[in-house]
A and B are shown apart, each in its own frame.
Chain A
Amino acid sequence: MSRKPYVREMPRFAWVFRHPRYLRYMTRELSCLFIGAYTLLLVAGIGRLAEGPAAYEAFLEALKSPLSIAFHVLALGFAIYHSITWFNLTPKALPVQIGEEFAPDWVITGAHHVIWVLLSLGILSLAGAF
Chain B
Amino acid sequence: MAKSNKPLVWGPFAAGGTITAFVTPVLIVLTLLAALGYVPEMLGYENLRGVLAHWFAKLSVSVIIFLSLWSVAHRLRITCYDLGVRADALVAAALYLAAVLGSVAAVVYLARI
Contact = CB atoms under 8 A, between A and B. Distances in A.
Interface in B33-74: 33-43, 45, 48-49, 52, 61, 65, 68-69, 71-73
Contacts of A79: 20, 24-25, 28
A123 B26 contact: yes
Given A72-B31, A76-B25, A86-B18, A47 B42 contact: no
Question: B28, B31, B49, B75 — which one has the most chain A CB atoms within 10 A of its CB?
Answer: B28
B87 interface: no
Nearest to A130: B40
Contacts of B72: 32-33, 35-36, 39
Nearest to B47: A128
Interface residues of A, number: 50
A29 B61 contact: no
Contact of B21 (A43, A56, A75, A83): A83
B79 A72 contact: no
B84 interface: yes
- Interface of B, helix, strand, loop or mixed by DSSP: helix
A69 B34 CA distance: 10
Contact of B24 (A38, A47, A60): A38
B55 to A, nearest CB: 15
Contacts of B43: 60, 127
20 contacts: A10-B84, A12-B83, A26-B79, A29-B75, A29-B82, A32-B76, A41-B31, A47-B109, A50-B112, A60-B43, A64-B37, A72-B28, A72-B35, A80-B25, A124-B30, A124-B40, A126-B42, A127-B43, A128-B40, A129-B38
Interface of B: 14, 17-18, 20-43, 45, 48-49, 52, 61, 65, 68-69, 71-73, 75-76, 78-79, 82-84, 102, 105-106, 109-110, 112-113
Interface of A: 10, 12-13, 26, 29-30, 32-33, 35-36, 38-43, 45-47, 49-50, 53, 56-57, 60, 63-64, 68-69, 72-73, 75-76, 79-80, 82-83, 86-87, 93, 115-116, 119-120, 123-124, 126-129
